[in-house]
Amino acid sequence: MKQKKNLQNALNHRASIEVPSHPMYLSMIRIFLEKLLKLIDIQTLIIEDIKSAVDEACSNVIKYAYKYSYDKTIKVYFSYSPKEIVVIIEDYGEKPQDLSFQGRDLLDLKPGGLGMHFIKKAFDEIVFKSSKKTNKLKMVRYL
């Protein structure tokens, strides 16, 4: 109850975090999201799904946009309204060749290709945009 009241006082629920593109920092992004989503009283199940999805998307940035170079930067923007949660992941790495980002068929047993499924499980809208300098993956979860 108290949390909810305070929530209304805080007019803008925007937050962001920027960390190096080293996998050791992925746990920081997860805890950032977990704390944030708990503060605004989101259900545990949704919190877990969003944590997994953003973690996968950031792992993909390290793998594909940065080709495992660990001294670059990943930025995660978060915003909340009673209608939706928006997460934007920004990197300054390579533009992808193919924008389809297909995960593998889940019934085809092989390692890999699961990340996109986690992303689609947590989010209702997924939009990828590349500009000259940055790639942005915008993900929206309806509430």
Partner 1 sequence: MEIKIEDQKNIRILSAMGEVDMHTSPELRKHLLKAVKDKIPIVIVDLKEVSYIDSSGIATLVEALKGMMKYKGSLKLCSLSERVKEIFSFAKLDKVFEIYKDLQDATIG
Ligand X SMILES: Nc1ncnc2c1ncn2[C@@H]1O[C@H](COP(=O)(O)OP(=O)(O)O)[C@@H](O)[C@H]1O
Smallest distance from a second copy to CB 65, Å: 17
Residue 15 CB neighbours (<10 A)? 15
> H-helix or E-strand containing 88?
strand 84-91
Contacting residue, 44, 113, 124, 129, with ligand X by CB under 6 A: 113
d(CA 136, CA 15): 16
Q: Among residues 13, 6, 138, 136, which one has the least CA distance to residue 83? A: 13
How would you label 104-113 residue by residue, b for 16+ Cβ within 10 Å and e otherwise? eeeeeeeeee
Out of 4, 5, 83, 110, point to the residue binding partner 1 (CB under 8 A).
110
Q: Which does 52 bind (CB under 5 to 8 A by kind): partner 1, ligand X, a second copy, none?
A: partner 1
Report in angstroms how near the CB of residue 140 gets to a second copy at its nearest.
20
Provide the minimum distance between the beta carbon of 110 and partner 1 in the complex, in angstroms, as a whole number. 7
Contact track, partner 1, 89-108, x by CB under 8 A: -----------------xx-
Binding residue for ligand X, selected from 37, 52, 115, 139, defined by CB under 6 A:
115
Find the helix packing angle between 26-39 and 44-60, rounded to 10°: 150
Chain contacts with ligand X (rule: CB under 6 A) = 56, 60-61, 63-65, 96, 101-103, 112-116
